[in-house]
Copies of this chain bind each other. A is one copy, B any other.
Amino acid sequence: MSDLTAERLAAAHQALRSGDRERALEYWHPDVRFQSPGNHPYAGWHDGLDAFMGFIRTWQRLAGGTLRMEQIACLVNPVDGYTIDVNRCTAVRKRTGSDGTSFYEHLQMEGVDLMRWENGRVVEGRGGIFGDGTANFSSFFGPIGPNGLRSDD
């Protein structure tokens, strides 16, 4: 797997976020599974590329264009077929009747994406979170805002 590089990892992320399934299939196995960290309606293992891309779309929808991922570091182990990128992530979810500044709406966290590759494609991925970011991440994705009102926006 001599072609496993930071560049290929970056291209895999771009393809995934584009929402273009055909393009994503160049880097992600159709049976890829990804574990979203924390405990919230979208947490746990998403089995298959369609489920995984569905999770990404949900995230993009809730963040309404505010999702930012800044890479802090990138590590590649081509021998064993692993990549990890360390990211700082920010997003704002403006819930109905709220201004987007609460702990349930303003996401700011740092974490990793661990990917395992086989034959040039990711077959398994997991998100990990540093510090107390999991609390913020789960609150962001949860159904309730700071006032306890339920919302899907």
CB distance from A142 to the nearest CB of B (A): 5
The tally of residues in A whose CB lies under 8 Å from a CB in B reads 44
Among the listed B35, B43, B44, B132, which residue makes an inter-chain contact with A43, where contact means beta carbons less than 8 Å apart? Answer: B132
Oligomeric state, in copies:
4
Interface bits A108-128 vs B (CB < 8 Å: 1, else 0): 001110100000000000111
Within 8 A of B (CB), among A69-116: 73-77, 80, 82-84, 86, 102-103, 110-112, 114
A144 — which chain B residues lie within 8 A by C-beta? 39, 43-44, 131-132
CB distance from A102 to the nearest CB of B (A): 8
A60 an interface residue at 8 Å Cβ cutoff? no
Question: A1 vs B103: C-alpha distance in the bound complex, in angstroms?
Answer: 40
Interchain nearest-CB distance for A147 vs B (Å): 8
Known contacts A111-B128, A129-B37; A44/B84 CB under 8 A? no
Chain B residues positioned under 8 Å from A111 (CB to CB): 128
